[in-house]
Amino acid sequence: MRIQIAFALVLTCLLPGCAKEPTSSPPAPPAAPQAETAAPVEAVAVEKVVESAVPANPVIGRKLLTPEEAAVGWISLFDGESLFGWKSSSSDINWTVADGVVTADSGPVGVLLTTVPFADFELVSEFRLAPGANSGLFLRSTADPKSPTTDGYEVNIIDSHPGGYLTGSLVGRAKANEDLTASGDWKTLRVVAQGKSIKVFHNEKLILDFTDDSPTARLNGLIGLQKNAGKIEFRKVNLKPLGMESIFNGKDLTGWRSVSGSKSEFTTEDASIHVVNGQGFLETEKSFKDFLFQVQAKTMAKELNSGFFFRALPGTEKAPSHGYEVQIHNGITDGDRNKPNNAGTGAIFRRVEARRVVSNDLEWCTITLVAAGPRIAVWVDGFQAVDWEDTREPDENPRKGKKLEAGHISLQGHDPTTDVWFRELKLMELPE
């Protein structure tokens, strides 16, 4: 596989996790960040590419995402080989994965749903429908959708419909402006959902522009793949979060505070936060409950340890980091990326390990975290590393039990060897 060592715009890898309680990692001067946009991603020049004997990122290797897309925040909801991160509304539907395709063709009407919700996003899906079959993409759905007019938005995938809601239409809400045939070869739907606005594109042509001004407009929910009748196949389901706001102004540490007793040094340079030495913590002044957070991170030496905490209690000198921790540590065992040697970048430290280490030291990576109630999901460079539900008894301290209340985000300096960079810190609080 190919690992990019030096970039003009560096690869995604944004985890600041850690392996022990508090510490930090090493950074290298960052490249200029890219602005968030719903437009297609343009190519980014790569200065140097070298070969590695160790396979890296599966979703990039399978061409579900490009390195450039992963670097600007795209994530792959379907990894091309499993149903990790998904849950079916009915166990009687035969959802299977083979040859990079997720498919179903028997069982009751139902939906394969993500385990965490999304609010504003751009969604791209490639599908293939058998003649006479019926399917759809569900947006902002409940966990058990019964009605497409109250429980979410259904982008129809169908050849004919008695009510005229053909492919690209929002069933029961708005009809596409073209009569499209869904069956045949592979086709692409792209959806841009921002607030009450939903736009649908078919093969890059705008076919629906809908604004939901009803009092029951849904602003947050799960993404779903429907099996209604006949055979449906999906081979790509990618999402880019939209509507995110920066929680770092790129110039100084306004809005952040160093936890009392911290030995780490936190400075700003090149629109990035540089952390050296440790232990120490830099936490947000604001607190956040349910949210989607993205950050880019770079460790500056082999197997450095860092991370970031969330829903954390205010740090004190005696208790600097009582929160959930997203680990940043790129070490692996026996050259096997499926065997992290210290939980792995993207892990929820001390709770669940990353299922694969896809990021590399000395390279930027992009980390995406969704915290929604007790459900927590993490992607690293677009690959989902963690899908975890906290089933412990409630406790205000996430180190001791399940915490659903708001808390601070805290960047970690782990130990005296820490040398880590963080940039592009963006967050969107999920609507109720």
At 55 the pLDDT is 53
Please give the average per-residue pLDDT across 139-157, as a whole number.
95
Torsion, Cα 167 173 175 176, to 10 degrees, reads -60
At 181 the pLDDT is 87
pLDDT digits (tens, 9 = 90+) for 133-147: 999 999 999 999 999
Please give the average per-residue pLDDT across 227-231, as a whole number.
96
Q: Taking the alpha carbons of 106, 110, 111, 116 in that order, is the dihedral positive or negative?
A: negative
Tell whether the model's pLDDT for residue 6 goes beyond 70.
Answer: no
pLDDT digits (tens, 9 = 90+) for 31-56: 433 333 333 333 333 323 233 333 59
- Polymer length in residues for the chain: 432
C-beta of residue 389 within 8 angstroms of C-beta of residue 375: yes
| Alpha-carbon span 91 to 270, nearest angstrom | 50
Give the number of other Cβ atoms within 10 Å of residue 282's Cβ: 24
pLDDT digits (tens, 9 = 90+) for 285-326: 999 999 999 999 999 999 999 999 999 999 999 999 999 999
Q: What is the DSSP letter of 259?
A: P
Instruction: Give the rounded percent of residues in the chain with a pLDDT score beyond 90.
Output: 84
Residue type for position 149 = T
Tell whether the model's pLDDT for residue 72 goes beyond 60.
Answer: yes
Please give the average per-residue pLDDT across 196-219, as a whole number.
94
30-44, 103-117, 191-205, range with the lowest pLDDT: 30-44
At 53 the pLDDT is 35
At 203 the pLDDT is 81
Please give the average per-residue pLDDT across 405-409, as a whole number.
98
Please give the average per-residue pLDDT across 372-399, as a whole number.
98
Which structure tokens are listed for 79?
A: 């990894």
Q: Calculate the average pLDDT of the chain.
A: 89
| Alpha-carbon span 110 to 105, nearest angstrom | 11
Q: What is the DSSP letter of 415?
A: S
Could you tell me which of 112, 13, 104 has the C-alpha nearest to residue 60?
Answer: 13
Model confidence at 432, pLDDT cuts 50, 70, 90, reads: confident
Q: Taking the alpha carbons of 336, 339, 344, 348 in that order, is the dihedral positive or negative?
A: positive
**Where does 86-241 sit in CATH, by number?**
2.60.120.560
| Alpha-carbon span 219 to 431, nearest angstrom | 6
Which structure tokens are listed for 65?
A: 């995402």
Instruction: Give the rounded percent of residues in the chain with a pLDDT score beyond 70.
Output: 87
| Alpha-carbon span 31 to 423, nearest angstrom | 9
| Alpha-carbon span 6 to 34, nearest angstrom | 17
Please give the average per-residue pLDDT across 253-275, as a whole number.
97
Residue type for position 353 = E
Query: How far does Cα 174 stand from its chain's mean position?
Result: 29
Task: Please give the biggest Cα pair distance in the chain.
Answer: 68
At 160 the pLDDT is 92
What's the whole-model pTM score? 0.87
At 44 the pLDDT is 33
Give the number of other Cβ atoms within 10 Å of residue 362's Cβ: 17
At 81 the pLDDT is 95
C-beta of residue 351 within 8 angstroms of C-beta of residue 324: yes
| Alpha-carbon span 282 to 271, nearest angstrom | 16
157-166, 285-294, 372-381, range with the lowest pLDDT: 157-166
Pick the CATH number of 2-36+246-429 from 3.90.1200.10, 3.40.449.10, 2.60.120.620, 2.60.120.560: 2.60.120.560
At 171 the pLDDT is 96
Task: Specify the domain boundaries for CATH 2.60.120.560 within the chain.
Answer: 2-36+246-429, 86-241
11-15, 70-74, 348-352, range with the lowest pLDDT: 11-15
At 22 the pLDDT is 37
Model confidence at 204, pLDDT cuts 50, 70, 90, reads: confident
C-beta of residue 346 within 8 angstroms of C-beta of residue 378: yes
Residue type for position 85 = G
| Alpha-carbon span 187 to 426, nearest angstrom | 32
Give the residue carrying structure tokens 């109250």. Answer: 150
At 23 the pLDDT is 36
At 148 the pLDDT is 92
Please give the average per-residue pLDDT across 200-225, as a whole number.
95
